[in-house]
Amino acid sequence: MEVWCCCQRAGTCIGCLIEKSVKLDYGMEGLAHLVRFVEMVDEAEARDALTDMVHQFCYRAVKDDILQMHTGGLSALESAFRVLGYADPMPCPDMECAEEGCGEEVTCGMPTATGYKRTCGTHFRDALGPAGA
């Protein structure tokens, strides 16, 4: 039974890893359920889910003062980056703290007089002042 595969059945892509895991845990019947589910999922929804997973599990580093995400050499992330069309590493300036000169990753946000501001935890705590600490 074929599930999505991008490694010509070498067993190195995320599709093959998912297939193997489902087969081990649930057998061929479980795999058949997975295939039916995948066929029902909208492609845009699947791409959004993959993007969310990449953003959650990718590695991050600052290079040339720009926050970048990368695969760290993990084949599952490499496959996901390839499917999404991401470079490795992928510059992510939109994931940087909005405070001038701060290259830390965005983890918080707050409404301001000029609009919503996304910041790192340090600048978020600073904005709250002693009352919010």
Q: Where are the domains of the chain?
A: 96-133
> For residue 4, what pLDDT is reported?
63
The pair of three-digit structure tokens given for residue 3, joined into one six-digit string: 């599930």
Q: If you count them, how many residues does the chain have? A: 133
> For residue 28, what pLDDT is reported?
76
DSSP 95: G
> For residue 1, what pLDDT is reported?
42
Helix ranges (H only) for the chain are 14-40, 43-57, 75-84, 121-132
Cα–Cα distance measured from residue 35 to residue 44, given in angstroms and rounded to the nearest whole number = 17
Instruction: Give me the average pLDDT of each 10-residue run along the chain (133 residues).
Output: 65 73 74 71 81 89 84 91 91 85 86 90 89 59
- Residue 108: partners with Cβ closer than 8 Å, 6 or more residues away: 118, 119, 120, 121, 123, 124
pTM for this prediction: 0.53
> For residue 132, what pLDDT is reported?
58
The pair of three-digit structure tokens given for residue 109, joined into one six-digit string: 């946000």
DSSP 90: E
Give φ, ψ of 41 to 5 degrees: -75, 130
